[in-house]
């Protein structure tokens, strides 16, 4: 019974970690190297993340610099950024690429707020799904006479407590990200 709940909690933690990774990739006006994580460069016919081909650093609040270890990939990185949905035009000086992030307007902030709210809701759905799976496993243990009715009731209560805890964490993470987007 305990291992079922432990596995469920571990999965819920992973859902929150995934949500935080997704939030990191949302461009919120401030320069953040995580916005490049989903952009892949076609390097010798292998889709490769930019951070494996170059050093990415934040030089100013709204400026990222990308310095490739091999200067021959400079154009490939530039092309990958241009064809992505990042919405930033790279500036290539022959040695490094600069990405200047424009300040967000009010309309774009609201769009981003909706987008991150949707991501939060998806995380909460995943958490509830994990709870449902755990409850099914617990009911099977009860059916197989491995736990008692009382044990099942306690475990169901514990599963709900875990679900509430992680849904609250998702809401807290959402509120923090919304605040970040609206203040910029």
The pLDDT score that the predictor gives to residue 137 is 93
Can you read off the two tokens belonging to residue 182? 């609206």
Give the Cα separation of 104 and 115 in Å (integer).
15
What does the pLDDT read at residue 123?
95
* pLDDT given at position 67: 93
- Of 120, 159, 98, the C-alpha closest to 20 is 120
Q: Residue 39 — left, alpha, or beta (φ > 0 → left; ψ -120 to 50 → alpha)?
A: beta
Domain that holds residue 151: 2-24+105-183
Nearest to 79 by CA among 32, 35, 36, 41: 41
Residues 96 and 112 in one domain: no
- Which of residues 74, 100, 126 is at a domain's end? 100
Residues of the chain scoring pLDDT < 70 = 27-30, 184
Query: How high is the pLDDT of residue 11?
Result: 95
pLDDT at 153: 93
What is the reported pLDDT for 14?
95
Q: Is 0.85 topped by the overall pTM?
A: no
pLDDT at 184: 60
Residues 88 and 112 reside in one and the same domain: no
Beta strands 54-60 and 46-49 are: unpaired
């Amino acid at each position: 019974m305990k291992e079922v709940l432990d596995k469920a909690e571990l999965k819920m933690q992973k859902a929150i970690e995934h949500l935080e990774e997704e939030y990191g990739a949302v461009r919120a006006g401030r320069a953040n190297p995580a916005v490049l994580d989903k952009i892949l460069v076609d390097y010798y016919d292998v889709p490769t993340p930019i951070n494996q081909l170059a050093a990415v650093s934040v030089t100013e609040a709204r400026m990222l610099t990308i310095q490739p270890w091999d200067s021959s990939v400079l154009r490939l990185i530039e092309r990958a950024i241009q064809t992505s949905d990042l919405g930033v035009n790279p500036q290539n000086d022959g040695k490094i690429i600069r990405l200047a992030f424009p300040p967000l307007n009010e309309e774009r902030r609201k769009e981003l707020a909706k987008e991150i709210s949707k991501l939060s809701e998806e995380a909460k759905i995943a958490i509830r799904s994990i709870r449902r799976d755990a409850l099914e496993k617990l009911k099977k243990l009860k059916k197989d006479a491995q736990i008692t009715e009382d044990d099942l009731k306690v475990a169901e209560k514990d599963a709900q407590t875990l679900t509430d805890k992680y849904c609250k964490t998702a809401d807290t993470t959402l509120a923090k990200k919304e605040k970040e987007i609206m203040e910029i």
